Structures are given as C-alpha cells and as structure tokens.
Amino acid sequence: MRIKISLSSYPDVDHIPGKRIQPTETIHSNYAAWVKHANAINSKYHDDLAEIENDNKKVTYDDDGVIFAVWDKEKKVGTVHLKGEHLAKH
C-alpha cells in the first residue's frame, strides 16, 4: 500500500470530488508539432476538408468558416481546438 504525503497546504486535486474542467485548446511552441496536431484534428473532425491559409502573420486551418487551428508567425506559437471547433481568439 502506497501513501501519498503532501508537504503543501493545498489539497491533492486528483482526489477532490466533483466536475473537472477539461481543456478545449492546446498551445504549441513547436511548428512541426502544431502541424501534426492540426492535421490530426482535420482528419478526425473535418474529413481533411480544411483549407490551410498562409499569410504574412499567421497560418490557419479553416473549414468553411470554422477556424480550429492558428499558428502566429510573430509569436511563434500555435493553438489547436481539441474538438475541431471554432477558436474563440484567432
């Protein structure tokens, strides 16, 4: 039997009952990892129909107005919605 001892005054959140908030987006700082993840979401939720749009500031995956992945070229960071839904900020 293993006993987990916390030296912190905060409770172990894995054992708190109730609903957990699931993340809806993931952030990437590696372009290749972002492309791989965006392609996987495109295949799973959009049947590979999303268009990849590339301009001077960003790269986006857009399926008929639903932008679910954005790579910001200036900040060198990308966001992907985990269920292929429209990103709130892009």
Angle at 88 between CA 82 and CA 90, to 5 degrees: 95
Does a structural domain hold residue 13? no
Mean pLDDT of 52-71: 94
Does a structural domain hold residue 39? yes
Which pLDDT value is given to residue 10?
53
Q: Is the dihedral of CA 46, 77, 75, 23 positive or negative?
A: positive
Q: Is residue 71 predicted with pLDDT exceeding 70?
A: yes
Which pLDDT value is given to residue 1?
53
Helix (H, G, I), strand (E, B) or coil at 46: helix
Between 50 and 90, residue with greater pLDDT: 50
Mean pLDDT of 55-79: 95
Mean pLDDT of 45-66: 94
Q: How far apart are CA 76 and CA 70, in angstroms?
A: 11
Does a structural domain hold residue 44? yes
Q: Is residue 55 predicted with pLDDT exceeding 60?
A: yes
Reported as a single tens digit per residue, the pLDDT across 33-49 is: 999 999 999 999 999 99
Does a structural domain hold residue 86? no
Backbone phi, psi, residue 33, to 5°: -65, -40
Does a structural domain hold residue 8? no
Does a structural domain hold residue 11? no
Reported as a single tens digit per residue, the pLDDT across 7-16 is: 555 555 555 5
Domain range holding 49?
19-81
Q: How many domains does the chain have?
A: 1
